[in-house]
Structure 1
Amino acid sequence: MTRTAVIALERFLPDARRIAGVLDAEVIPYDPEAFRAAFAGYGRIVALMSAGIAVRGIAPLLTDKWRDPAVVVVGPDLRYAIPVVGGHHGANDLARELAVLGIEPVITTATETRGRESVEGIAVWTGCDIVNRDSTRAVNAAVLDADVPLYAVTGPGIVVAGPGVSLLVRNGEYVVGVGCRKGVGAAEVIEAIGRALREAGVAPEKVLVYATTAKKRGEAGLIEAIVDLGGNLVFLDDETINAQEALTPSRASLIGLVGVAEPSALAASKRKVLVLARQTYGSVTVAIAR
């Protein structure tokens, strides 16, 4: 469960406790280190103070919208709740929760103000994770201009997604990156993935998606293996793969890539943390990220 904190100046602590009661939150009295502490331990933050104080406090702590906590500023008069960080990542919903106290949510994200659903919002209500997160900017921009089709593919399945397509998959934690030699058999791929998962201590049901290079779109053995595993295979374009740091030297440089297994796993993962560096099992390479 995501933890919520209410940070307030001392004179506003009584109101902060009222807000905390509605949100099942913890109250943190404001001091120069309050936001740093809250960013380290909470996924949602309500700042009961002026927007200027809050913005100056959080600005040095911001990394990216996928990891930063949702932050909502509530004015000292308790009239408005303004999401300032992570509108699509929980802040808009947090502001709306405060309406029971008569605090009006002020939503500024473009999709919501125009009555449109964002990619992030769709991911929440469908219980999915967004695999290629960099795609959301282009897709959300397109949503502002016209209806964007939503396709449901029941697994096992194979999806080739370009940079302007957001790929959502059912919740899981790990991404398995797979590379292989041309003509590899499905049985060898299945055995290699199984060995890698065991070495990493990852249960198969915890796999979010399998990922590889788009150059393997015609690799029948690889495709058959993922289908047999009941998984979903994502083909990533060269630009997406080469945007990742090459952690282990790879012969993939011969085909213009920094690698296959490791960068594919990292590109499609949420935390960008490699839990199993590239391992070679015969004709198959496997890496696992979370």
Structure 2
Amino acid sequence: MTPPIAIILLNESGRETAEKLQALYPEALIHGLAGRTEGADVTFQKTASHLQELFRAGAPIFGICASAILIRCLAPVLRSKSAEPPVIAIGDDGRNIVPLLGGHHGANRLAREIAEKMDAHAAITTASDLNFNIALDAPPEGLALANPQHVKEFVVRLLGGEKVRLDGKSRWLSQSDLPFDEDGTLTLKITTAAGKGNGGLLLYHPKQLSIGVGCERGTEPEEVISLIRETLANMGLSPLAVGAICSVDVKSDEPAVHAAAAYFGLTPRFFTATELERETPRLAMPSDVVYREVGCHGVCEGAALAAAGSEGQLIVPKQKSKRATCAIAEAPFRIDNKNVGKSQGKLSVIGIGPGQDAWRTPEASALIGQATDLVAYGLYLDLLGNSIAGKKRHDFGLGEEEKRVRTALDLAGEGRNVALISSGDIGIYAMATLVFELIDREDNPEWNRLDIQVAPGISALQAAAARAGAPLGHDFCTISLSDLLTPWKVIEKRITAAAEGDFVISFYNPVSLKRRTQLHAAKKILLQHRPTYTPVIIARNLGRETESVSFVPLGNLDPESIDMLTLVMVGSSESRTTQTNSGGRSWVYTPRGYSGKMANDTQKTGTRK
């Protein structure tokens, strides 16, 4: 999947243009330079390295900056123009749009599109675009060029005055300004058949073939791929004309099916057995055995026909290898893979950190950008700002944790790309555990077939430690003081063990409106095992505008001053405070024993290391 468009904002002077672009492309994310911009969806520190990372990932880049900045930053990673994503330079005022790279991979088209919608000027310099209003090596989605290496020679001959003959149907080609003539010496051919082009023949393959596959559980991917390749070759069909790889939904988590689709640059699509059974009258080789096992009379033929639509034709009946089958149907139109059947459902279980954009990982931002549906406590979605524009929100209140997770699992089971979101790290006192608990407990086949990915976030204890200095420099633990799910006797036992072990302890959920005694009890236990001057960090609303971080000695900790938005971190007996800036700034740290090691090294060698 192509990463979302990255709108690069280096100065606030380009803010209005960036927001206009994001309104035109809601899936795009604004990437802002730290210290120079505010409120970006993604914040970066170093322009060159960030741009290079985006370029390598294949993300289209809209740079609101001088062309030279993009050129100098990306020059070290330029390799092949056949694989580069669109890179467009846009002036701060949005009046000039310059496609720099990937002109025939979408940059020219996007530049024209932006210019038209923003009443700007697109500086297109490609010869075929300027003379014939078309980029012959950049066909639209659903049409693949078999011999791009011959485009240059073909265009040179066009510019030399030769005429073109169109063999087949294509609105994209016929509506251009190409010099068409039935007796032309150059040919543009549209066909699903395999072939070889040359300097006078450009061969385009419309993605009108659908391939249905079936296989035994655990079949090696290479067997399925080889069967498809051999079947296409035997029938003289081009692999570039394949628009869909499909199967029955019980195979939606089968690695071999996914590998076969990926081989053709596609994501696999799936149909229910009921949907495939409707294709029975059109099957060439219906099977009662398959019906008894799966619930339909044919998997590969049925899937191929279902993808090709009611006017599609089965052109290759079921072909077999040792453990796999495939069949091919042809549609009278381009197959839109995204609208065929359904995809394997994806559930991204994401921690977004304490709420500050700069503390959200690129992985989390990318998964949120790819999702169609977002499930979370409403406040967490509000923290994401414009980065979720155009996505479907499923808001839940506090205390509705199981509802949230069930909704996320069910939506993903429908074939959607769902992000289940929590602040902090979603695996620490959050939703990730409940996801796997419900899957394990209920054995729902729709849930069991999901593609699940867990993305970590910066947890409250990490954020608090960073603000305070280095209190987690040695062994530490976390303990939740909420007894809603864990009996107080168990929590008390854990506090005692951590106190005796001299761990730095981060207390999550220290108090609530109704629960006020636990932190008092924890303080009493800790004072039995560590001194009253042990530093305690009180961190509230981390990463947000109302953030506050303060230190008190353990003996002076007042549990009544703590609220439910606060994390309390108690140092070990070794933790201590220090000051910088001429005594103006306090820090807490926990030594790891380096001073003792240095002393021993000095004794042994007579020198300080």
TM-score normalised by length of structure 2:
0.29
- 1:30-81 CA distances to partner (integer Å, 9 max, x unpaired)? 4232211221334421111011111111212212222111111111232110
The change in CA–CA distance for 1:210 and 1:23 in structure 2 (over 3 A counts) is same
Q: What is the CA–CA distance in structure 2 between the aligned matches of 1:209 and 1:91, rounded to whole Å?
A: 36
- Which amino acid in structure 2 is aligned with residue 89 of structure 1? H
For 1:140, the equivalent position in structure 2 comes to: 155
For 1:26, the equivalent position in structure 2 comes to: 29
Segments of 5+ residues of structure 2 without an aligned counterpart are: 34-46, 169-188, 210-218, 241-262, 266-320, 322-609
Matching of residues 109-258 of structure 1 within 5 Å: 109-121=126-138, 123-124=139-140, 127-146=142-161, 147-152=163-168, 157=193, 159-171=195-207, 199-201=223-225, 204=228, 225-227=234-236, 231-232=237-238
- Which amino acid in structure 1 is aligned with residue 148 of structure 2? R
Retained in 2: the 8 A contact 1:47–1:71? yes
- Which amino acid in structure 2 is aligned with residue 28 of structure 1? H
Q: 1:142 Cα deviation (Å)?
A: 2.3
* Structure 1 range deviating more: 158-167 or 90-99: 158-167
SS at match of 1:57: helix
- 1:18-37 CA distances to partner (integer Å, 9 max, x unpaired)? 21221221111242322112
Q: What is the CA–CA distance in structure 1 between the aligned matches of 2:190 and 2:99, rounded to whole Å?
A: 35
- 1:239-290 CA distances to partner (integer Å, 9 max, x unpaired)? xxxxxxxxxxxxxxxxxxxxxxxxxxxxxx999xxxxxxxxx9xxxxxxxxx
Q: Does 1:47 align with 2:32?
A: no
Q: Does 1:86 align with 2:102?
A: yes
The change in CA–CA distance for 1:37 and 1:154 in structure 2 (over 3 A counts) is closer
Retained in 2: the 8 A contact 1:8–1:49? yes
The change in CA–CA distance for 1:41 and 1:13 in structure 2 (over 3 A counts) is farther
- 1:119-169 CA distances to partner (integer Å, 9 max, x unpaired)? 224x217x3111222112212222323333232367674534335532221
Segments of 5+ residues of structure 1 without an aligned counterpart are: 174-194, 212-224, 235-268, 272-280, 282-290
Q: What is the CA–CA distance in structure 1 between the aligned matches of 2:230 and 2:190, rounded to whole Å?
A: 14
SS at match of 1:65: coil
For 1:13, the equivalent position in structure 2 comes to: 15
- Which amino acid in structure 1 is aligned with residue 94 of structure 2? L
- Which amino acid in structure 1 is aligned with residue 157 of structure 2? A
The change in CA–CA distance for 1:15 and 1:70 in structure 2 (over 3 A counts) is same
Retained in 2: the 8 A contact 1:72–1:84? yes
- 1:182-221 CA distances to partner (integer Å, 9 max, x unpaired)? xxxxxxxxxxxxx9986144774xx69967xxxxxxxxxx
SS at match of 1:159: coil
- Which amino acid in structure 2 is aligned with residue 68 of structure 1? E
Match of 1:35 among 51, 56, 73: 51
Q: What is the CA–CA distance in structure 2 between the aligned matches of 1:131 and 1:80, rounded to whole Å?
A: 34
* Structure 1 range deviating more: 48-57 or 20-29: 20-29
SS at match of 1:33: helix
Retained in 2: the 8 A contact 1:71–1:84? yes
Retained in 2: the 8 A contact 1:116–1:143? no
Q: What is the CA–CA distance in structure 2 between the aligned matches of 1:208 and 1:170, rounded to whole Å?
A: 20
Retained in 2: the 8 A contact 1:135–1:163? yes
RCO higher in structure (CA 8 A, sep ≥6): 1
Q: 1:6 Cα deviation (Å)?
A: 0.8
SS at match of 1:120: coil
Retained in 1: the 8 A contact 2:146–2:197? no
Q: What is the CA–CA distance in structure 2 between the aligned matches of 1:158 and 1:32, rounded to whole Å?
A: 43
Retained in 1: the 8 A contact 2:196–2:203? no
The change in CA–CA distance for 1:56 and 1:197 in structure 2 (over 3 A counts) is same
Q: What is the CA–CA distance in structure 2 between the aligned matches of 1:40 and 1:233, rounded to whole Å?
A: 26
Q: What is the CA–CA distance in structure 1 between the aligned matches of 2:105 and 2:167, rounded to whole Å?
A: 22
The change in CA–CA distance for 1:154 and 1:76 in structure 2 (over 3 A counts) is closer
Q: What is the CA–CA distance in structure 1 between the aligned matches of 2:114 and 2:32, rounded to whole Å?
A: 19
- Which amino acid in structure 2 is aligned with residue 27 of structure 1? I
Q: Does 1:72 align with 2:88?
A: yes
The change in CA–CA distance for 1:203 and 1:172 in structure 2 (over 3 A counts) is farther
Q: What is the CA–CA distance in structure 2 between the aligned matches of 1:94 and 1:208, rounded to whole Å?
A: 38
The change in CA–CA distance for 1:80 and 1:270 in structure 2 (over 3 A counts) is farther
For these two proteins, the number of residue pairs brought into alignment is 197
Q: What is the CA–CA distance in structure 1 between the aligned matches of 2:231 and 2:207, rounded to whole Å?
A: 9
SS at match of 1:84: strand
The change in CA–CA distance for 1:154 and 1:51 in structure 2 (over 3 A counts) is closer
TM-score normalised by length of structure 1:
0.57
Q: What is the CA–CA distance in structure 2 between the aligned matches of 1:63 and 1:165, rounded to whole Å?
A: 27
Q: What is the CA–CA distance in structure 2 between the aligned matches of 1:202 and 1:27, rounded to whole Å?
A: 43
Q: What is the CA–CA distance in structure 2 between the aligned matches of 1:209 and 1:167, rounded to whole Å?
A: 21
Retained in 1: the 8 A contact 2:88–2:107? yes
For 1:102, the equivalent position in structure 2 comes to: 119
The change in CA–CA distance for 1:156 and 1:109 in structure 2 (over 3 A counts) is closer
Q: What is the CA–CA distance in structure 1 between the aligned matches of 2:100 and 2:192, rounded to whole Å?
A: 39
The change in CA–CA distance for 1:42 and 1:162 in structure 2 (over 3 A counts) is closer
Q: What is the CA–CA distance in structure 2 between the aligned matches of 1:71 and 1:23, rounded to whole Å?
A: 15
Q: What is the CA–CA distance in structure 2 between the aligned matches of 1:117 and 1:172, rounded to whole Å?
A: 23
Q: What is the CA–CA distance in structure 2 between the aligned matches of 1:208 and 1:151, rounded to whole Å?
A: 27
